[in-house]
Amino acid sequence: MVMVKKHEGPAAVFEMLNKALEVARREKRVTEERNIRILIAQMHVVQGELEEGLKNFQILIDENPRDFRPYLCQGIIYGLLNKKKEAEEQFEIYRSLVPEEFPQRGFLDDIVLAAKKDNLKWNLAGISFSITARAAELCWTRTKWAKEMEVEKM
């Protein structure tokens, strides 16, 4: 997320993520590809493109219904859209799939509680950036393709 620090804007972040996605696909790094696609979907939410975010997360769910992350994100989006029933359905699925021993479960559970209390509405950008930053921290690894992206930025 170096480009954000340089104030180059969301377009630069999307460009960086799409380049990283190309590298992950080319090198057949399935886990990294999925993680990047999640970040891209989250960036749509940050941009206020909630329907696009929902669509991207649904594609991820259709491809791997055992991954709890897209359900959590969809629950948050539905909460932002004031669709409480849909949000609760997604949060239920998230809770059924997230492992008890998952290191960031407490943080994610706090987000679910905030979403249920309508605390997300006044801080869409802030919480989305927080989610995106934490997701990046959780899934970004210093692999060959990440190093390649650093070289391309120089």
Confidence grade of residue 141 (pLDDT, cut at 50, 70, 90): very low
Average pLDDT over residues 140-146: 37
Give the pair of three-digit tokens for residue 106: 């407490």
pLDDT, tens digit (0-9, with 9 covering 90-100), for 17-67: 999 999 999 999 999 999 999 999 999 998 899 999 999 999 999 999 999
Type of residue found at 147: K
Q: What is the pTM of this model?
A: 0.73
Average pLDDT over residues 80-88: 91
For the chain, what are the domain ranges?
2-153
Taking the C-alpha atoms of 97, 103, 108 and 110 in order, what is their torsion angle to the nearest 10 degrees?
120
pLDDT, tens digit (0-9, with 9 covering 90-100), for 96-134: 999 888 888 888 888 888 777 765 553 444 445 455 445
> Which of these CATH numbers, 2.40.50, 1.10.260, 1.25.40, 1.10.287, describes 2-153?
1.25.40
Average pLDDT over residues 131-138: 48
Q: Which residue has the tokens 């460009």?
A: 15
Q: Which residue has the tokens 């649904």?
A: 58
